[in-house]
Chains A and B, each alone.
Chain A
Amino acid sequence: MAKLIGLCLNVVILCSTVGAVFEDQVGKFDWRQQYVGKVLFSNFDAQSQSSKKVIVATENNVFASLNIRTGELFWRHVDAIGPEGKIDALLHHGQDALLVVGDGRLLRSWEINIGGLNWEIVLDSGSFQSACLIGQQDIVKHVAVLKKTAISLHYLSNGHQKWIENLPESETVDYQSVYSGGNGEVYVLGIVPHSHIAIVVYSLEDGEIIRQFSVEAPWLSNIQASCAVIGEGMLTCADSATVSLYMLDLESQTEMSQIPLQSLGLEVTPGFQPVLRSTQPNAARPPLSEFFLQVGPEQHLLLQLNDGQIVTLRDFNPALLVSFATTGEKTIAAVMSPKNTTACSLNLFSAETGRRLLDTTLIFPLDPNGGKPEELYVQAFLKKDDSVGYRVMVQTEDHTLTFIQQPGRVMWTREEALSDVVTMEMVDLPLTGTQAELEGEFGKKADGLFSMVLKRLSSQLILLQASISHLWKLFYDARKPRSQVKNEVTIENLSRDEFNLQKMMVMVTASGKLFGIDSKTGTIVWRHYLDNIPANAAFKLMVQRTTAHFPHPPQCTLLIKDKDTGLATLHVFNPIFGKKSHVTPPAMPQPILQSLMLPVMDQDYAKVLLLVDDQYKVSAFPSTKNVLQQLQEIASTIFFYLVDSSQGRLSGYRLRTDLSTELIWEVVVPTEVQKIVSVKGKRPNEHVHSQGRVMGDRSVLYKYLNPNLLAVVTESTDTHPERSFMGILLIDGVTGRIIHEAVQRKAKGPVHIVHSENWVVYEYWSTKSRRNEFSVIELYEGMELYNSTVFSSLDRPHAPQVLQQSYIFPSSISTMEATLTEKGITSRHLLIGLPSGGILSLPKMFLDPRRPEIVTEQSREENLIPYAPELLIRSEWFINYNQTVTRVRGIYTAPSGLESTCLVVAYGLDIYQTRVYPSKQFDVLKDDYDYMLISSVLLALFFATMISKRLAEVKLLNRAWR
Chain B
Amino acid sequence: MASPGGQGGGALSTRGGGARRMKWALELSMGNSRSRGDRQGGQGDVVYPIGFSEKPVPDTSIQETDKNLVEKRCWDVALGPLKQIPMNLFIMYMSGNTISIFPIMMVCMMAWRPIQALMSMSATFKLLESSSQQWLQGLVYLVGNLLGSALAIYKCQSMGLLPTHSSDWLAFIGPPERMEIMGGGMVL
- Give the B-binding residues of A (Cβ under 8 A): 538, 540, 559, 561, 563, 568, 592-594, 596-600, 610, 612, 634, 637-645, 676, 678-679, 681, 687-688, 690-692, 694-695, 698-700, 705, 707-708, 733-734, 785, 787-794
Contacts and interface: CB of A to CB of B under 8 A. Distances in A.
A153 B167 CA distance: 78
Given A691-B170, A705-B175, A637 B165 contact: no
B175 A688 contact: yes
Given A594-B184, A594-B185, A637-B179, A690 B167 contact: no
20 contacts: A540-B188, A594-B186, A598-B181, A637-B181, A638-B182, A640-B184, A643-B184, A645-B186, A690-B171, A699-B165, A699-B167, A700-B166, A705-B175, A705-B176, A734-B180, A788-B176, A789-B177, A790-B178, A793-B179, A794-B179
Contacts of A792: 179-180
B94 interface: no
Residue among B165, B170, B184, B187 facing the most chain A CB atoms (10 A cut-off): B184
B160 interface: yes
Contact of A679 (B166, B168, B178, B186): B186
B37 to A, nearest CB: 22
A962 to B, nearest CB: 9
Nearest to A682: B182
Query: Can you list the 8 inter-chain pairs with the closest CB atoms, starting with the nearest?
Result: A596-B183, A792-B179, A640-B184, A698-B165, A641-B184, A694-B167, A791-B176, A538-B188
B26 interface: no
B179 to A, nearest CB: 4
B175 A708 contact: no
B176 A695 contact: no
A39 B185 CA distance: 35
B181 A788 contact: no
A157 to B, nearest CB: 53
Nearest to A708: B182
Given A791-B177, A792-B180, 10 more contacts: A598-B181, A637-B181, A644-B187, A688-B175, A692-B173, A694-B170, A698-B167, A699-B165, A705-B175, A734-B180
Nearest to B179: A792
A692 B170 contact: yes
Contacts of B186: 594, 643, 645, 676, 678-679
A680 to B, nearest CB: 9
A641 B182 contact: yes
Given A594-B188, A705-B175, A789-B177, A733 B182 contact: yes
A596 B188 contact: no
Given A690-B170, A698-B167, A639 B187 contact: no
A413 to B, nearest CB: 32
A639 B181 CA distance: 6
A691 B160 CA distance: 21
Given A594-B187, A643-B186, A695 B167 contact: yes
Nearest to B183: A596
A291 to B, nearest CB: 46
A480 to B, nearest CB: 49
B10 to A, nearest CB: 14
Contacts of A645: 186-187
Contacts of A593: 187-188
B148 to A, nearest CB: 26
A734 to B, nearest CB: 5
B184 A596 contact: yes
Nearest to A655: B181
Nearest to B175: A688
Interface of B: 160, 165-168, 170-171, 173, 175-188
B178 A707 contact: yes
A700 B170 contact: yes
Given A561-B188, A679-B185, A679-B186, A794 B171 contact: no
A698 B160 contact: yes
A791 B188 contact: no
A658 B98 CA distance: 65
Contacts of B167: 692, 694-695, 698-700
Contact of B184 (A538, A637, A678, A733): A733
A592 B188 contact: yes
B165 A788 contact: no
B23 to A, nearest CB: 34
Nearest to A790: B177
A571 to B, nearest CB: 15
Which of B167, B168, B177, B180 is packed against the most chain A CB atoms within 10 Å? Answer: B180
A540 B184 CA distance: 12
Contacts of A695: 167
A779 to B, nearest CB: 15
A637 B180 CA distance: 5
A600 B178 CA distance: 13
Contacts of B184: 594, 596, 612, 640-643, 733
B174 to A, nearest CB: 8
B188 A790 contact: no
Contacts of A639: 180-182
Nearest to A861: B160
Contact of A794 (B173, B176, B180): B180
A66 B188 CA distance: 38
A378 B71 CA distance: 117
Given A694-B170, A700-B166, A791 B179 contact: yes
Nearest to A596: B183
A788 B175 CA distance: 8
B82 to A, nearest CB: 33
Contact of B182 (A563, A640, A679, A789): A640
A787 B176 contact: yes
A568 B188 contact: yes
Contacts of B182: 638-641, 681, 707-708, 733-734, 793
For B170, B175, B183, which residue has the most chain A Cβ atoms within 10 angstroms? B183
Contacts of A793: 179-180, 182
Nearest to B1: A962
B187 to A, nearest CB: 5
A791 B180 CA distance: 8
Contacts of B177: 789-791
B159 to A, nearest CB: 12
Contacts of A678: 186
B107 to A, nearest CB: 18
Contacts of B176: 691, 705, 787-791
Contacts of B166: 699-700
B185 to A, nearest CB: 6
Nearest to A690: B170
- Most chain A CB atoms below 10 A, which of B170, B173, B176: B176
B39 to A, nearest CB: 25
Nearest to A793: B180
B170 to A, nearest CB: 5
Contacts of A679: 185-186
A538 B186 CA distance: 11
Contacts of B185: 594, 641-643, 679, 681
A255 B185 CA distance: 63
Nearest to B6: A962
Given A540-B188, A790-B176, A634 B181 contact: yes
B46 to A, nearest CB: 28
Contacts of A789: 176-177
A952 B96 CA distance: 45
Contacts of B173: 691-692, 785, 788
Contacts of A644: 187
B173 to A, nearest CB: 5
A616 B175 CA distance: 33
B183 A640 contact: yes
Nearest to A788: B173
A683 B173 CA distance: 21
